[in-house]
Amino acid sequence: MSNFRQDFLNFALQQNVLKFGKFTTKAGRQSPYFFNAGLFNDGASTLQLARFYAQAILESNVQFDMLFGPAYKGIILAAATAMMLAEKGINVPFAYNRKEAKDHGEGGVLVGAPLKGRVLIIDDVISAGTSVRESLTFIKNAGAQAAGVAIALDRMEKGTGELSAVQEVQQQYGLPVVAIANLLDLFTLLEQNDSPELAQFVEPMKSYRTKYGVV
């Protein structure tokens, strides 16, 4: 069994993408950790991130014909992941959307390869599911089929109801969601790490999961 999930989280720690401490989320929750994939912002870290996406996707056995990256974060993720898949011998096209339509050149809001076949959506996280819904609209309107969603981290915490944002996407659209790592992997990271600095966050993480976590 590959240990790429722990490799990914350790990499995220080194890049300060994953931090432990006291943070306030957009929902106003007091969280003992913070994950910001936008901080993978240079060539080397983005390249390594794309390797993890490609590995997670391939190990999931999700069947797909192309990638789609919702603007804006998904654009570079889809392009970089397509490159890493090509290095593994799987050359698939990719596309992404603009926030506003262009009225010159190729026009429209979609850029890249035509949406067709089974389309795998690539994004950093699923928060409210907005970018997934928008992506599904593009895919449906093009006559293509959504194959699933690939994200960096599944927080496994409740949204507005009892389900997580990931579970809502799975339930509403019947789509598989592939995550490089999830909250359980975060616990493994903390429990297996010899650092006293990280060990102090085990209990705060357990309390946070009890309050906001989903099964």
Active site residues: 102, 104
CA atoms within a 13 Å half-sphere pointing along the CA-CB vector of 53: 32
Q: What is the 3-state secondary structure (H, E, C) of 30-95?
A: EEEEEECHHHCCCHHHHHHHHHHHHHHHHHHCCCCCEEEECCCHHHHHHHHHHHHHHHCCCCCCEE
Residue 129 — left, alpha, or beta (φ > 0 → left; ψ -120 to 50 → alpha)?
Answer: left
* Phi, psi for residue 49 in degrees, rounded to 5: -60, -45
Residue 156 — left, alpha, or beta (φ > 0 → left; ψ -120 to 50 → alpha)?
Answer: left
